[in-house]
Amino acid sequence: MTEEMKKRIDQVYERWTNGLCPGGQVLIREKGEIVYDRCFGYSDIENRIPITDQTVFHVASVSKQFTVMGAMLLWEDGKLDIDADVRAYIPEFIHFEEAVTVRDLMNNDTGIRDFFELADRSGVVNCDALDQDYVLRLIGKQKGLNFPPRSRHLYSNSNFILLASIVEKISGMTLGAFLDKRIFKPLGMTQTAVRDKYWTCLDHRSASYQDNGYNYYYAPLTYSIYGTTSLNTTAHDLMKWMDNYRTPKICSEKTIQVMTTAAVLDGNAPNTYACGLREDYLEGHRYIKHAGEDAGFRTFTFRLMDDDIDIVKLANCDTILSDPSTMEVARILLDLPSAPAPELPIDENFDVETAPGFYYGKDGAAAVTIVKYKDGLAVEQQWGPTPLTHIGGNLYRAGHLDVWYLLGERDARYVNAEETILLAKSNDNPVDEALGQATAGRYFSEEAEAVYTVMWEDGHLYLEHIRRGRSLLHPTDDGRFAAEYDRTTYVRFIWAGEKVVGLTLTGARVLELPFKKVEGGII
């Protein structure tokens, strides 16, 4: 790596050098040699504690590849058949009819509903504590899947909770103890542990923050769940793990091949997901990667397989997006041009009076509410309104973040360096009285153990849950309704002739969760 490359990489993380701010660790290795090793910002901005190479980060979904390795080591021991139905190991948690294998869990193609969204539908809110037993009971209530196993890939954290249970049942140890014995200690990962109780104290552990483009907010993490998340470690320890992909020390070459090869789905449906990893190409250069996002933590592991380059990025804030920043670093190392900026179809004839309102993602992704704020516009968020800077036409930016909004009644979208989400602005026209009377009532789900009430008032429909609160139901352009909850919730009513008999709730990772209408309102 040249000095010029180092300067360009420094610029990628420049926002972590702007005064008292969260930050992270960035570690790069080329052909076995560390060539870039920097720490930025503060692990605790309230107590002015800088991030050092000893700072420990919660790495969120980067944990998944470790759980997979635990299962693969049991496979190597001859104790686990990864192509067996999971009922052979954990029948107590499986109550759907379809056959799902251990390999399907690892490849994230089971169709099993994501427990985070299920918990959200049940009424769990962001500040609630989640524990392993509750999550397993919730998964065990599911009688249906999002889709037939192996027909497509859809990210679901439930798969790795179940995989952790299989590892524990076969090994007779907790997941953390098993991984410590078979992975952490053999690789010399002395600052790595599975934090399976949120009250556990770990030396040098970083706090977590969220950035709205103007201010930092403390983002608590109250997880006592593991397998899918809750590994805590440092960049230097993670690089020891990455070295095992380069030169296997704790497993066979066959295991590495299985873990780094994307699953083949039925009908050869498109897929880049392997075993807790994504396999793809950057302009012909094969890589494996995985991101992690919980509370404010943003983590990333990336390996260019044939170029023998590893990048580890750990952060305690969402100021710098993991995937685009790491891919830009990879481009610098490979002497490739920067990725083109997303095209923004700016409407120069935009009328700002059309901007405020509720926008829902056309593909079922996140929704936003835009409000008038002082002399301009803002996005409503949990900590209050986030002011938007007007760039031109209908284009607005969220402070210093690489987050933009195209607003108005046409071509609306949410854009960042990772993705573009097409948005539609709800017209919120009054609901027909016949529809209002037919849909009003109480609805119950056995699989979520949740009750929602639909009300028709003043010509509009509302959805209410005792913990999630009350939300106006916004008509969408596909005949459904969108609710304004923290996680996007789409409502579709189920008809039997002229009578509404139920509804379904759909999000990004839970599709068509059924609720039955309760006759007489009594469950």
Write out pLDDT tens, residues 352-404.
999 999 999 876 667 899 999 999 999 998 888 999 999 999 999 999 999 99
Residue 422 or 82, more confident: 82
> pLDDT over 70 for what percent of the chain?
99
pLDDT at 329 over 70: yes
Query: Tokens 């590495």 appear where?
Result: 256
Instruction: List pLDDT tens digits, range 28-68.
Output: 999 999 999 999 999 999 999 999 999 999 999 999 999 99
Cβ atoms 304, 45 nearer than 8 A: no
Single-letter code of the amino acid located at 176: G
Cβ atoms 521, 441 nearer than 8 A: yes
Integer angstrom CA distances of residue 129 from 30, 124, 133: 41, 9, 12
Count of CB atoms situated within 10 Å of the CB of 36: 17
Beta bridge partners of 368: 359
Per the prediction, the chain carries an average pLDDT of 95
In this prediction, residue 506 carries a pLDDT of: 95
Region 482-506: mean pLDDT is 92
Distance CA 249, CA 243 (A): 9
> pLDDT over 90 for what percent of the chain?
91
In this prediction, residue 521 carries a pLDDT of: 62
pLDDT at 94 over 90: yes
Kindly compute the dihedral angle of the four CA atoms of residues 195, 197, 199, 200, in this order, to the nearest 10 degrees.
-40
In this prediction, residue 365 carries a pLDDT of: 66
Reported pTM? 0.96
In this prediction, residue 485 carries a pLDDT of: 84
In this prediction, residue 383 carries a pLDDT of: 83
Integer angstrom CA distances of residue 271 from 13, 75, 278, 365: 31, 24, 9, 19
Please, which residues have CB within 8 angstroms of residue 23's CB and are 6 or more apart in sequence?
13, 16, 17, 39, 40, 41, 42, 51, 315, 316, 317
pLDDT classification of 427: cutoffs 50, 70, 90: confident
Instruction: List pLDDT tens digits, range 160-186.
Output: 999 999 999 999 999 999 999 999 999
Cβ atoms 276, 65 nearer than 8 A: yes
